[in-house]
Structure 1
Amino acid sequence: MTTTAPAGSAPQAPARRADAHRNDVRPRLRFGGVLRSEGIKLSSLRSIRWTLIATVVAGLGLSLLISWGLKASAGMEGAPAMPAETYALAAATIAAPFIALVFGVLGVFAISSEYSSGMILSTLTAVPKRTPVFFAKAIVLGLIALATAAILVIGGLLIALLFNAEVGSVIFSKVVLSGGAGAIVYLTLIALLAFGVAALFRSTAGGIAVVAGLTFVLPLGFQIASMTGWEWVGTVSQYIPAALGNTMSAGIAEATAPGATGPGYWGAMLIMVAWAAAAVVPAAILFRTRDAK
């Protein structure tokens, strides 16, 4: 006897097979896709674009001013001759201590803008696994900061070359290359440090306040405290971000200056990495575990 399905009923097996087929062909969420998404999102923010424009204009403007000023002072009667390497490094890295705060603002905006607008909820709905989101944001920010800092350093060297033809003979020297690379790494790490701080506070104002304190207020405080004559003030002040940035921007000298103390070039770079990690690592843990609101 042949069994027939009741009138009006639909076959169930083909429907189940069709659902399984749709599940099989559904695209998987890969880290590359998350990375591209964060890149598009970050580059589309108006605050990020204006921050980058202001950074490049301010940085190259400072390089132009210092190159012109050094050229003018060198032409004065009795003025000592400045080595070409010193001239090149001054023009290429002079902006780093002053625009470190701007890179910090860039790092803060990279994540705090989503919390202030509420977009973080949509982001985490689209990508339920939070760790890839956090590190995709950090990688995109790091690449943008690295490219911007490289433009400033290379542009500064070209400006120095326009004012002083001797720069061409030392532009690929060990001191100039290491100093330029040090300034680029320093500014990139400042942006990542600010990113971690902003992720911890989930506040634009709070993140900028902390970064401003680290880059400007803290060095000023140590300068004032040095008047007390306490020995520990001079020692500790060599390990704050601003001092580490100065050491990295000075490059690898052929000989250590007599009486020099504090970390050297590579030591300063490692300590600066530790500063950034001290903010990024706990921020990544909290981003993964706490409520998004």
Structure 2
Amino acid sequence: MKLTILGCYAATPRTITNPTSQVLEIRDRMFLIDCGEGTQVQLRKNKIKFSKINHIFISHLHGDHVYGLVGLVSTYMLLNRVDDLHIYGPKGIKEIITLQLKLSNSWTNYNLYFHELESTESETVFEDEKVIVKTIPLKHRIYTNGYLFLEKFNERKLNIDAVQQYEIDQVYYKKIKYGGDITLEDGRVIPNTELTFDPDTPKSYAFCSDTLYNEDILPLIENVDVLYHESTFLESEAILAEKTMHSTAKEAARIALKANAKNLVLGHYSTRYESIQKFKDEAETIFPNVFLGDDGESFSF
């Protein structure tokens, strides 16, 4: 599971920072999460093949999380994209994008699907044979969701030496990977445990963008492998965080600790601060495994 931070600063972009956007690569899937201004430039800078992105998840409709989306949609058209593109986000996102496409006479030459969200309860918004994506309802000034990405259980790993020892035909390999026992021609039943190794433990990633400190999300993100939680302010600006419905670095750490998360990635820093190191310092007083998200940083878990 690889996370690439394209941008993780709050409010207005600067020459040295970018607003929120990130790419999650999990089980051969590539998901774009939020799409702040400059996202497609950051995709190129980080050498990410964004033609592989077929699903985009938008947390809310504040500009620093969505203003890069119409540009990316239009660029896909210029590149003669043919694959379907699915966009998940709050009700209204379809109107925002299609109005711009309409007025610029720039309709896509590929299928563009919008999945508009309104529920204040967690719901499954995407599922295939490898990954499930669920919403994480957050508390912000407008309707906002985080997203929980869950790997499904992997296939078991073939023990090639054992398979060859019993001279098992390759036609049965798929059955074995899915946990099946094998009956040999002489009637012997070879249990699956002799033919395979345990699969890797499924991984999970929780993206919690702009939100007030909110313990209601704890049951949804319990035991998550990686938690990205916004940390717009330091504790010295805790009153401002509450007023603007954002979180501090310490509050992000408290959520990670109470959720029993394995790792915490901080982001969405206010640009008022000269250094982001203090965010890590404050969070580590509460939670041990803290990583500083920053533009262009990649993490593999």
**What TM-score range do you get, normalising by the shorter chain?**
under 0.3
TM-score (norm 1): 0.23
Greater strand proportion: 2
Bigger Cα Rg: 1
TM-score (norm 2): 0.22
Greater helix proportion: 1
